Amino acid sequence: MESARQLLLSLEKLARKGGTFSTNPDVKPYAFYGGQHLSVSQVIRANLWKFHLSATSRNVLDHMTVHHDDQALVQMTQASLAVKFGCSQSKVSRAVGELTRHNFAWKERRGQYRLHPLYAYRWGSRKQRTLLAKLGKDTLTNKEIVIPSVRKETSR
């Protein structure tokens, strides 16, 4: 009863003075370690060229990035993507296999794929933290995205 009264008083104050109202919890301040102020998702995206993904793989990855839900799940079939991209289903199958080998995405069940949360969401976002906690360390350890090195980088 007291909390309802307090809520009404807060809303009246908000109506009089203006401002914003949110049901989301306060966000913890952003903390980073190391010399660069980069997130994991930014590093992966900046080095995406090193994976030498095929054009179809990039198309599938872009499709998954746009069409995933808050659990990073994408409802899609290889046949529907083949129609969308104007290519054969076997080409889409190879593209999905390539993304799976690099751990960008993996098949959950028929017609459902999960996009890697470190690629799907900005680092430290509420959605990413929630999904990472749900999936657990074992999933992330087994599905680690390893950025390939380039010959000139390894000789430095």
The per-residue pLDDT for range 44-64, each reduced to its tens digit, is 888 999 999 999 999 999 999
User: Residue 1 has what pLDDT?
Assistant: 63
Distance CA 102, CA 63 (A): 17
Backbone angles phi, psi at 59, to 5 degrees: -60, -45
**More reliable by pLDDT, 155 or 120:** 120
- Residue 7's pLDDT band, with cuts at 50, 70 and 90, is confident
Distance CA 113, CA 24 (A): 28
Q: Report domain extents, the chain.
A: 37-154
- Residue 27's pLDDT band, with cuts at 50, 70 and 90, is low
Neighbours of 128 (CB within 10 A): 19
User: Residue 77 has what pLDDT?
Assistant: 95
Q: What is the mean pLDDT of the chain?
A: 83
Q: Which CATH number fits domain 37-154: 3.40.50.720, 1.10.3470.10, 1.10.10.10, 3.30.300.30?
A: 1.10.10.10
**More reliable by pLDDT, 23 or 111:** 111
User: Residue 156 has what pLDDT?
Assistant: 47
Residue-by-residue DSSP string for the chain: -HHHHHHHHHHHHHHHH------SPPPPPP---SS----HHHHHHHTGGGG---HHHHHHHHHHHHH--TTSEEE--HHHHHHHHTS-HHHHHHHHHHHHHTTSEEEEETTEEEE-HHHHS-TT-HHHHHHHHHHHHHHHHHT---PPP-HHHHT-
Least confident of 19-33, 57-71, 91-105, 136-150: 19-33
